[in-house]
Structure 1
Amino acid sequence: MAEPAINTANLTVDQSERPQMEVTSQTTVADIEFQASQVIERLEEAIEKAEDGGGGPNSGQSWRNSHGFLPTSSKTTEEILTVIEDLIIHEDPGSRGESSEEDTSVDPTVAALPQLDSISKLAIVTQSVAAYACGLERSHLQRLITRVTSDTTRWLSHLFQYLDCAAFFHDDMLEGIVRITRMMLHYKYPKYLEDGYEAFTSSPPIIYSSMASPLGVVQHICRQLGLPMSCVHPVPCNTLFGSQQKMDVAALARLIEEDKAASKVPLIVLADAGTPVAGHVDNLPRLQELCKQHDVWLHLRGHSLAAIAMVTVPNMPGRLADSYTLPIGVWLGIPALPAVTLYRLIDSAVSRPRPVAAVGVPRESTLPLVAGLTTDHMIRRLSCLSLWAALQSMGRDGVQTRIRDSFESSEQIWKRISKYPCLRLLSQQPGGEAGTYTVSEVVNKPVSNALLLEVVACTVVFQFVPEANEGEAEGRVPPYYDKLNSWLGQILQRDAPQVPIEICELESNGVVLRYCPLEMGSERHPSLQEIEMFVSCLEQQLDILTATVEHKETFQRLVAASPRLRLVDMPGWAGLGGVRYVPEAWEQLMTDQAKEELNRLNMQLVEQLRNTDAAFSLGEGADGLVCVRFGMVTAETDVEELLGLVVTVGREVEESSRFLETMTEIVKKGIETATLDLQKENEERLWQEGILRHVPVFGSLVNWWSPPSKEGGIKGRSLNLTAGVVESTENIYRYHMQLQQGLTPPPGTRSPPQPQVQTQVVPTGGKHSRSSSHSSQQSTTQATPS
């Protein structure tokens, strides 16, 4: 083998200087490690202070002080790191729609950063070292990349039992499948490199993907490769064993035959070893046989692939697919790790014309090269150094232990919640269809990889369905059950956070709850005691949900029979429902003013009810009117008693509202009556005293010559709400007190005379007499002459 070319610049270096250069390089790497570790530690300390309310030096000011132009003056390293820390710790309030950058009234919230262990910190630090190493001389960097890449590929191939494979490391999770599809385009269309899209205009390529898989994956592939969406053929799912998540292999075979008959080229099949939500595994042996028969590439993805790496004894040999997508960082809970795509090299014995640009290069190396799967396009970047370091730090035992703990956690959760008949389990059952295997058994037994993926469960997905509706099998539940499951998920997230539950939605089943330990990141898996606490909390909430569903029919029946209550449609509410108190004959006068009065009445009703029971709350129906909202109930709840309480309190509020309305009317009429009396009395006094007394200057002389009577002045008016009359105020000023009419004076005292003026405002026995009797004491409204 020829020696690699030597850079002539190295010849000018004295051998005596080489040890000093090595020491300098080691010192620089140590400095990078030290600075990166310090920044991480400062971030952790700043987050703890911010969560405790202490804030930081900037307290989120970096979001508000951002400018559109590069600052003129330079900043020190310490200042820049401080700004970076502030941007990482605090979340921009404008991104939540709470305030703009100019609004300083809303403080940024503290971001949730993962807790880092020593391995995670090592992975982050090695990224900085990798960026520093990219400045090496090209030939030395090439040897370094080759060493790190080959080591990592060999370790992964042994872990996942995929011998004689190549590896592609990428940051974007979908980048690997894009490059694999591009490689297959070059494989199926030898002129694709020169002709581009015109190479397959007459025979378009076809990509097959299950209907249970996210549509965004194939959309991304088509956008990156310039393919129309007509190149994607969705494969339906079968209903075997009640599952609606597995790809129908028979339907796929028919599609491939039809496409080949129509001069189309079957290119690649995207299969799932653990569908994104429910975790189902496709029939991999049949898919592999079908793809091999038609020369179609089979790509496999999903969390269940991690199970291959947890076995401690060699399994029976057998490759499940032509390529795998492995999100190692997600499974191990280590940030900063790249995703990996393992793929087999296409057999060079296949006789196909070589691309012009690759003449003289073995074909098995040509296709990955032109597809961008080799590391030649990232020659200046050590993309997998963090993974290389993390795998060595954990060791084979550490990787297997962490993955095995995840699958055992799913198994424990499944066993404990499967005993509740009101829960519908939608994910793959651990131990296979018969449940005869356990994780500890398959780890220590030499079983095939296909069987291994069938007996492990990467996730647990369940849904609350009342026992009366179990016969609905796997169909989508009514919309009301979606609300119940959303409520259940929120309660579990709040009261049992030790088992993280995610609220998801399946198109075929509605809202479901999902537990996936392989996506927990750096969080530790729940212990058996914590799982028991979670199950206990779940059981309590299931009792409440079951009681609410059972009482809901009674609730609706009683509301329909009540003359004063109306059932209110409340989308998104999981409780018993909502009712609106409507006075008799009110619905015939539903004007805008009447609606406002009805809203005010029900708001007062809710306020009174909350003083009795906190289960009542104020809601709003689909018609925009407020109502009384009933929450969750227990089996002992008396729904009829609750509704009776609403009717009773509603009547009291209604009567109180009428009383206030009556008092308003009485006061208004009293003011009008007092004004007319004062005006009339003033006119009479003018005629009795004479006009001359009211002429300026001359009137003073007349009053001096003939003083007016002290008793002849204009008397004020007071409104007696109890009697409903407007009275003159001579008694008030004479006796310096207000006397209540109808009260017996103390013994030995004389009763005051009746007021000289008494004008009836409301006739005795009129429609307001009953409401006026609610007043416990006399209230007066005085009007004095101007």
Structure 2
Amino acid sequence: MMVDPTLAEMGKNLNQAMKIFEDGQRPSEPDGERRRFSRSSIPGPLQRDGQDVASILQLVQNLMHEEEEDTPSHRRMQNVGEQGHMALLGHSLAAFISVLDKDRLRKLTTRIASDTTLWLSRLFRYENGSAYYHEDDREGLLKVCRLVINARYEDYTTEGFTALNSRQPVIYQSATCRPGLGQHLCCQLGLPLSSLCTVPCNTMFGSQHQMDVALLDKLIKEDMETGKLPLLLIANAGTPWAGHTDKLGRLKELCEQYGMWLHVNMPSLCLPQAASRSDSITLTLGPWLGLPAVPAVTLYRHDDPALTLAAGLTSSQPVEKLRALPLWLSLQYLGHDGIVEKIRHAAELSQQLLEKLKTLASIKTSVEDEVNSPVVVFRFSQETSAASSGGSMEGYFAGEREVIDTLNRWLGERLAQLVPASGVDVVELEEEGTCVRFSPLMTAAVLRTQCCDVDLLVEQLTELVPILSCTLRLRQDFREEVYRHSALSYIQDLSWPGLGAVRYEPRGEELDDGKRQQEVEKINSELLKKLGDLDADLIFSTGPEFGPEKDCIFIGMATEDLDVSELVDMIATLGRDLEESGRLLENMTEVVRKGIQEAELQLQKANEEKLMEEGVLRQIPLVGSVLNWFSPFQSTVKGRTFNLAAGSLDSTEPTYSMKAQTGVVASPETPTFSSKRLPGQRLFRRGGSDSHSETSSVGQAEDLSKEGVHSPSAPTPPCVLQPDEVTSEALERPQVPQGQEVNPLTSQVLAQPEAGQQEDGQMGTEERGMEKIQPEGQQTIEESQEDETGR
């Protein structure tokens, strides 16, 4: 079969372009700096020389994936498949066909529009219908409203809006219709908002998402009594959010009774019989069949071509009919059986999930209509009558609805991350609240959802439901535990999907508001870092980025074995340690400053006394040197050392007179919170009572003691040397001069320390704190100074 070379070239270029876009291939450029500037989104001048197709497609590819080079993202262009290629080819062909001569163009466009209308009418059992193709799915309804106005007001064509003054038209819509739809119609038609009447749904009997037919009848009668004209009724065969269907049979009877036009929106294709019961319907075939950039279709029945032309449903321009070309190509590629199979597959996925959800506890599905809906809406719901382990839930669940909605929002987002092929999303319903929606008719064709994806979705849902239940139950326990600590403040944030939020409040009352806020921010920031470094399964964060609460610690989802009491105690203990360490640093700064001032005063006084003792002659440079040579004068001015632990100012004479350092003062251990846990057990986890006996507890304590874990309140026992060690060290110790003492407990010696004796000096230092040690070398230095003085 011969193919037009132009068409063959067009198909080749399209395949090349789709290959580049879907595979994400980029030619390697050695100059990274030039690539960075070439892909910039800043507009630039048009180049003088033209570029080839490959270069232009490469530019488009770089712009599409510009952000992914800087920050890797999992969002890639979805593979549209062969039927998607046909839809994209239709847009290229439409541009090519539009340049044909008028006769060939009129013949071709008439054939395309006729075939597409016939196929759709048979698919959806809409007999004797005409089709209008449009990009905006609201445009078809807008054209239908103009058609009805032209039909009901005979003088509208000549008199315009003044013809509506005789009887004001009224458009009725369901409360579950698309938000803003009625306002858009009134704005485009030039009608006042009083011409729009929103009909509530059933509140006492029947579904909560179906239009109240009895109330609609009453509203129509009231409008007719006031001289208004019921014009059109907008119903749903599958609501946009939950897929519920109105009672189209009774609504059709009501419309026939009052001479109204019945338009049905079918975003979810819930009722195959809806087409036969309506005067017009709007179909969105693109998401159903996985076809990109195909127009929506409005099927309608009307016999007057002049009125349809005046309403804009038909056009005398052949190019307008080319809108159906992408759909015409795609329908031929899929075939009748392929289209039915895609829709049936989506319905089977919905029924599969619905049946499995009925077996899950704490999962509630939406109200089911009398027809099978391809949309499944479910939410987590738990009976709150049972009290939590720590107390009653009464009072806390004043905001139960908000808490449940928050958890369901987290559940929907989490399922979308874990099973992206399922296409689940979060919807807000007026009655149920926040729910998770599974609409395979709108997503399965594009995401290629299979039965295994539904099984994986149920599996992940089964694992997440216990986490939601535990979190909901332990929120009250967490609140009560926080209230038991005066230094902690419980933050009520119903929009946080987790255990709750807490803030550590410093106990100092002398701080003003500004300094106190800085102290709160500093302590809670450091506390969050310390909690994040712990070996725990909980997630600690600063909460929502744009949340109302700041300087708080938000705790994530909880599990069944979480020990809430230990968690809150840990937060309070770490916060108290951070507060005390901060105050210790501030106090230490003040003490050091005062100590330096006192030392300067003492040194100044000592210098004055030295001057009095030495005399004036020793202050003269040459004379003083000669006098010091023949008669050395020992200075009595000593430095000062400041003891941070004792807060005392001492002389540096013992320090300078020591021969060697006999011990290092050990810094006290920072008190840390430790609980009795088995080896390998993570923080904040309750151990099983069956497996923990007294023997295991003792063994655990022994293990902890072997590892060197000490309780912060337990003092360090004194180190006592054995008799043989004391005897051996006494033999090695040189003779102690008379007048010096030796501590018999700590074995601190005044002699020169040996290698083994240094450990004793360290133990003595731990026992005596910051006490100064004078070795025996001091006596030797003093004797040598006396000899020099005598000479």
What is residue 600 of structure 2 aligned with on the other side? 675
Q: Contact 1:423 / 1:462 at 8 angstroms: preserved in 2?
A: yes
Equivalent residue for 2:209, pick from 245, 269, 282: 245
Q: Contact 1:619 / 1:627 at 8 angstroms: preserved in 2?
A: yes
CA displacement, residues 666-715 of structure 1 (integer Å, 9 cap, x when unaligned): 33332222333333334444555567877xxxx54344444485743864
**Is 2:475 aligned against 1:552?**
yes
The 3-state SS of whatever aligns with 1:626 is coil
Q: Which amino acid aligns with 1:639?
A: V
Q: CA, structure 1 residues 392+469, in 2 after alignment: closer, same or farther (shift >3 Å)?
A: farther
What is residue 500 of structure 1 aligned with on the other side? 423
The 3-state SS of whatever aligns with 2:420 is coil
In 2: Cα distance, 1:546 partner to 1:651 partner:
32
Q: CA, structure 1 residues 323+603, in 2 after alignment: closer, same or farther (shift >3 Å)?
A: same
What is residue 483 of structure 1 aligned with on the other side? 406
**Is 2:518 aligned against 1:596?**
yes
Q: Contact 2:202 / 2:210 at 8 angstroms: preserved in 1?
A: yes
- Structure 1 residues 44-63: aligned runs within 5 Å: 44-46=22-24, 58=35, 61-63=38-40
**Is 2:331 aligned against 1:391?**
yes
More displaced 10-residue stretch of structure 1: 507-516 or 597-606:
597-606
Q: CA, structure 1 residues 110+125, in 2 after alignment: closer, same or farther (shift >3 Å)?
A: farther
What is residue 296 of structure 2 aligned with on the other side? 339
Q: Which amino acid aligns with 1:139?
A: D
In 2: Cα distance, 1:326 partner to 1:83 partner:
35
TM-superposed CA distance for 1:487, in Å, is 1.5
CA displacement, residues 392-421 of structure 1 (integer Å, 9 cap, x when unaligned): 111110000000011111111111112334
| Superposition CA RMSD, Å | 3.8
**Is 2:64 aligned against 1:64?**
no
TM-superposed CA distance for 1:616, in Å, is 5.5
Equivalent residue for 1:82, pick from 54, 58, 82: 58
TM-superposed CA distance for 1:605, in Å, is 3.9
In 1: Cα distance, 2:256 partner to 2:309 partner:
24
Q: Which amino acid aligns with 2:503?
A: R
In 2: Cα distance, 1:294 partner to 1:751 partner:
125
Q: Which amino acid aligns with 1:468?
A: T
In 2: Cα distance, 1:108 partner to 1:230 partner:
51
**Is 2:109 aligned against 1:145?**
yes
In 2: Cα distance, 1:233 partner to 1:589 partner:
60
Q: Contact 1:606 / 1:616 at 8 angstroms: preserved in 2?
A: no
Q: CA, structure 1 residues 267+56, in 2 after alignment: closer, same or farther (shift >3 Å)?
A: farther
* Normalised TM-score (structure 2): 0.76
Q: CA, structure 1 residues 532+321, in 2 after alignment: closer, same or farther (shift >3 Å)?
A: same
CA displacement, residues 58-101 of structure 1 (integer Å, 9 cap, x when unaligned): 5685443324x6556654444333322222333599xxxxxxxx
- Structure 1 residues 616-635: aligned runs within 5 Å: 617-619=540-542, 624=549, 626-635=551-560
Unaligned runs of 5+ in 2: 387-397, 667-718, 720-728, 741-764, 773-791
In 1: Cα distance, 2:103 partner to 2:385 partner:
69
In 2: Cα distance, 1:669 partner to 1:469 partner:
63
More displaced 10-residue stretch of structure 1: 669-678 or 388-397:
669-678
Q: Contact 1:46 / 1:56 at 8 angstroms: preserved in 2?
A: no
Q: Which amino acid aligns with 1:594?
A: R
More displaced 10-residue stretch of structure 1: 317-326 or 401-410:
317-326
Q: Contact 2:275 / 2:281 at 8 angstroms: preserved in 1?
A: no
What is residue 341 of structure 2 aligned with on the other side? 401
What is residue 459 of structure 1 aligned with on the other side? 375
Q: Which amino acid aligns with 1:208?
A: Y
Identity over aligned residues, as a percent? 34
Q: CA, structure 1 residues 614+724, in 2 after alignment: closer, same or farther (shift >3 Å)?
A: farther
What is residue 220 of structure 2 aligned with on the other side? 256
Q: Which amino acid aligns with 1:328?
A: L
What is residue 226 of structure 1 aligned with on the other side? 190
TM-superposed CA distance for 1:597, in Å, is 2.7
What is residue 366 of structure 1 aligned with on the other side? 306
The 3-state SS of whatever aligns with 1:383 is helix
In 2: Cα distance, 1:654 partner to 1:575 partner:
26
What is residue 536 of structure 1 aligned with on the other side? 459
Q: CA, structure 1 residues 650+588, in 2 after alignment: closer, same or farther (shift >3 Å)?
A: same
In 1: Cα distance, 2:635 partner to 2:191 partner:
105
In 2: Cα distance, 1:186 partner to 1:251 partner:
28
In 2: Cα distance, 1:773 partner to 1:190 partner:
107
Q: Contact 1:152 / 1:388 at 8 angstroms: preserved in 2?
A: yes
TM-superposed CA distance for 1:213, in Å, is 1.2
The 3-state SS of whatever aligns with 2:114 is helix
In 1: Cα distance, 2:573 partner to 2:643 partner:
31
**Is 2:658 aligned against 1:701?**
no
Q: Contact 1:210 / 1:236 at 8 angstroms: preserved in 2?
A: yes
What is residue 5 of structure 1 aligned with on the other side? none
Q: CA, structure 1 residues 149+469, in 2 after alignment: closer, same or farther (shift >3 Å)?
A: farther
**Is 2:585 aligned against 1:664?**
no
Q: Which amino acid aligns with 2:481?
A: L
In 2: Cα distance, 1:394 partner to 1:92 partner:
34
In 2: Cα distance, 1:283 partner to 1:328 partner:
23
In 2: Cα distance, 1:378 partner to 1:465 partner:
56
What is residue 563 of structure 2 aligned with on the other side? 638
Q: Which amino acid aligns with 1:292?
A: E
Q: Contact 1:60 / 1:107 at 8 angstroms: preserved in 2?
A: no
CA displacement, residues 279-315 of structure 1 (integer Å, 9 cap, x when unaligned): 110000111111112111111112343663xxxxxx8
What is residue 305 of structure 1 aligned with on the other side? 269
* Normalised TM-score (structure 1): 0.76
In 2: Cα distance, 1:458 partner to 1:677 partner:
91
In 2: Cα distance, 1:109 partner to 1:529 partner:
25
What is residue 284 of structure 1 aligned with on the other side? 248
What is residue 439 of structure 1 aligned with on the other side? none
What is residue 279 of structure 2 aligned with on the other side? 322
Q: Contact 1:115 / 1:522 at 8 angstroms: preserved in 2?
A: no
Q: Which amino acid aligns with 1:325?
A: T
TM-superposed CA distance for 1:590, in Å, is 6.7
Q: CA, structure 1 residues 197+377, in 2 after alignment: closer, same or farther (shift >3 Å)?
A: farther
TM-superposed CA distance for 1:489, in Å, is 1.5
- Structure 1 residues 14-33: aligned runs within 5 Å: 26-33=4-11
Q: Which amino acid aligns with 1:27?
A: P
In 2: Cα distance, 1:710 partner to 1:203 partner:
124
Q: CA, structure 1 residues 46+679, in 2 after alignment: closer, same or farther (shift >3 Å)?
A: farther
What is residue 695 of structure 2 aligned with on the other side? none
The 3-state SS of whatever aligns with 1:214 is coil
Equivalent residue for 1:118, pick from 82, 85, 106: 82
More displaced 10-residue stretch of structure 1: 536-545 or 657-666:
657-666
Equivalent residue for 1:265, pick from 208, 222, 229: 229
Q: Which amino acid aligns with 1:663?
A: M
In 2: Cα distance, 1:623 partner to 1:336 partner:
41
CA displacement, residues 421-471 of structure 1 (integer Å, 9 cap, x when unaligned): 422222535xx3xxxxxxxxxxxxxxxxxxxxx2x212111121212379x
Q: CA, structure 1 residues 57+39, in 2 after alignment: closer, same or farther (shift >3 Å)?
A: farther
The 3-state SS of whatever aligns with 1:468 is coil
Q: Which amino acid aligns with 1:85?
A: Q
Q: Which amino acid aligns with 1:747?
A: R
TM-superposed CA distance for 1:267, in Å, is 1.6
What is residue 146 of structure 2 aligned with on the other side? 182
Q: CA, structure 1 residues 749+321, in 2 after alignment: closer, same or farther (shift >3 Å)?
A: farther
What is residue 94 of structure 2 aligned with on the other side? 130
TM-superposed CA distance for 1:737, in Å, is 5.2
In 1: Cα distance, 2:661 partner to 2:513 partner:
43
Number of matched residues?
668
Q: Contact 1:33 / 1:129 at 8 angstroms: preserved in 2?
A: no
Q: Which amino acid aligns with 1:256?
A: I
